[in-house]
Amino acid sequence: MKIISKESVGKLIKDKDMVAISGSGGSGSCETILKGIYESFQSTGHPKEIGVTCGISPGNLTENLVGMNYLATPGLVGKAICAHLGMGKLFGQAIGNNEFPAFAVPLGVINHLYRAIAGKEVGILTHIGLHTFADPRMGGCRANEKAQKEKDLVSLMQIDGKDTLFYRTFPIQVAVVKASLADEEGNLSFEEEGVIGEQYHMAIAAKNSGGIVIAEVKKIVPKGSLKARNVRIHASLVDYVVLTIPDETLGEYNIPQYRKELTGDEKIALEEVQIRPLDERKVCGRRAALELTKNSVINLGVGMPDSVSNVCAEEKISDEITLSIETGITGGVPIGGVVFGAAINPESVIPTPDQFDAYNGGCLDMAIVGLAEVDEQGNVNVSKFGSRITGPGGFINITQSTQKIIFMGTFTNGAKEVIQNGQLEILEEGPKQKFVKTVEQVTFSATMARNLHQTVLYVTERGVFELVEDGIMLVEIAPGIDLQKDILNHMAFTPKISENLKLMDERIFKNEKMNLKLKDKEA
């Protein structure tokens, strides 16, 4: 192991090398290394046209020069293979502008590809992605027009008479990973990281591809001082180490200070949760919470689904369920915002690829995730909107492997609404419909859900829809809402209407607690 400066990083990466980059949104990003690559390209023009691969792209959802935004300079990147492409807005815009070919791969798939690359396997076989844009019949993970000219990343195969997707591996020449500490030999400890992520799998993939591993740490400690159980990457896999000073000017981004409550090293007494005011987000959270059962393991997606955890806190039922995050966290209270992926007082912290082994096999009882577009077949899009391309993250793995799925979101985008006297009133309609004739991209496949006999609900503040055999059916309507004026007039298709259409639970629309009591989970 050799300690180097960020100025040396660019010299170690050759033009067109495939570089694996650790990080998950606002956690685990190699900021100093990424800055070193950026500065090298700015001053010398090299490395150029590099390939980049990552899970959830590092970034803070802004155009700030952080995370993947460092790599958005024209000519620096030649290809991207990532699960989520939009945490760095400049990087996502570059893909939307067709500056280089990009593939958006389900998070669990790309994590398992790293493991397969490490084992020198030719690829992985899985059902994940069938009938979505990952399926070669519907795009083959291609995220932009330039990717159309690239070699296929995924193929359709028949295994024992069943459709199966084959995702091909690819060599990785460089892995850049963030750890907490390194000892004098180069052993890397993750003891202060709230998310372990894919770092080990990236490192071993690079080494077994004949490449190099560059690690970023905040401190070098004496040889032999690290506990073996905290060493996630052995010194034999580490070629170079860059020392960094965490940047606290960006707030919580990249979690610059060691927070023991995120690693499980300390349990803290949670302050009284600030109860959310009664608005459309709380209405959706309350309605979704009515579906919860005792002792269930539940994945909550980013964004509006975090209102469910707030409702559970208000109703004092948080201890009756277990929340799980695809980054590898189970138990505790997920933290929101840009550093989504870590949790306060986690009960278990494992690598992300291992979490997807459990998810793919069906360990979750329920998933509550967001929706951006829903079409008349029941398909959902959360991954592409014109030139704004985000990718699926873990959405496809989760929704194709869990028996009960609840999508939640406002009925239209940007409506002004008020809840009073137990009624929902629309003051001004939103400018954009979410229930469209055909979604722009299929991130959730209604066809696949029907094949798997999944239970699927679409929860909005105005009504609740259910996936049925030949479309979606409106089964509940909010008090105060006119079916024609407030719902049907703002859909690009006419859904089926249940013969037993009923009002949503009146408790949802009142300021006082619902006094929610969870039912027992069915055996």
The structural domains of the chain, with segments of one domain joined by +, span 2-124+173-246, 280-509
Taking Cα atoms as reference points, which of 77, 78, 22 lies closest to residue 54? 22
Which pLDDT does position 334 carry in this prediction? Answer: 85
* Other Cβ atoms within 10 Å of 418 Cβ, number: 13
Residue that is written with structure tokens 């990087």 in the block: 91
Q: Over its length of 523 residues, how does the chain's per-residue pLDDT go in tens digits?
A: 899 999 999 999 999 999 999 999 999 999 999 999 999 999 999 999 999 999 999 999 999 999 999 999 999 999 999 999 989 999 999 999 999 999 999 999 999 999 999 999 999 999 999 999 999 999 999 999 999 999 999 999 999 999 999 999 999 999 999 999 999 999 999 999 999 999 999 999 999 999 999 999 999 999 999 999 999 999 999 999 999 999 999 899 999 999 999 999 999 887 766 788 999 999 999 999 999 999 999 999 888 898 998 899 899 999 999 999 999 999 988 887 788 899 999 999 999 999 999 999 999 999 999 999 999 999 999 999 999 999 999 999 999 999 999 999 999 999 999 999 999 999 999 999 999 999 999 999 999 999 999 999 999 999 999 999 999 999 999 999 999 999 999 999 999 999 999 999 999 999 999 999 999 987 5
CA angle 363, 368, 373 (to 5 degrees): 130
Of the residues 31, 216, 314, 326, which is catalytic? 326
Q: Which CATH architecture has domain 2-124+173-246?
A: 3-Layer(aba) Sandwich (3.40)
Alpha helices in 22-129 (DSSP H): 31-44, 89-96, 107-118
Burial label for 92, CB within 10 Å (0-12, 13-18, 19+), is buried
326 is catalytic: yes
Bin 265: left if φ > 0, else alpha if -120 < ψ < 50, else beta.
Answer: alpha
Q: How far apart are CA 295 and CA 319, in angstroms?
A: 9
CATH topology of domain 280-509: Glutaconate Coenzyme A-transferase (3.40.1080)
pLDDT digits (tens, 9 = 90+) for 82-108: 999 989 999 999 999 999 999 999 999
How far CA 224 is from CA of 221, 229, 236, in Å, comes to 9, 12, 15
How far CA 105 is from CA of 8, 188, 362, 383, in Å, comes to 31, 28, 20, 11
Which pLDDT does position 306 carry in this prediction? Answer: 85
Which pLDDT does position 347 carry in this prediction? Answer: 95
Which pLDDT does position 27 carry in this prediction? Answer: 94
Which pLDDT does position 35 carry in this prediction? Answer: 97
Structure tokens at 492: 């690009």
The backbone torsions φ and ψ at residue 517, rounded to the nearest 5 degrees and listed phi first, read -120, 125
Q: How far apart are CA 364 and CA 256, in angstroms?
A: 32
Contacts of 152 (CB under 8 A, 6+ apart): 136, 140, 168
Q: How far apart are CA 305 and CA 292, in angstroms?
A: 13
**Cis ω for the linkage preceding 495 (within 30 of 0):** no
Which pLDDT does position 272 carry in this prediction? Answer: 65
Query: Is-above-0.75 flag for pTM?
Result: yes
Which pLDDT does position 501 carry in this prediction? Answer: 98
Tell me the one-letter amino acid at 369: V
Check for a shared fold between 2-124+173-246 and 280-509.
Answer: yes
Tell me the one-letter amino acid at 119: G
Which pLDDT does position 56 carry in this prediction? Answer: 96
* SS3 per residue for 237-286: HCCEEEECCCCHHHCCCCCCCCCHHHHCCCCCCCCCCCCCCCCHHHHHHH
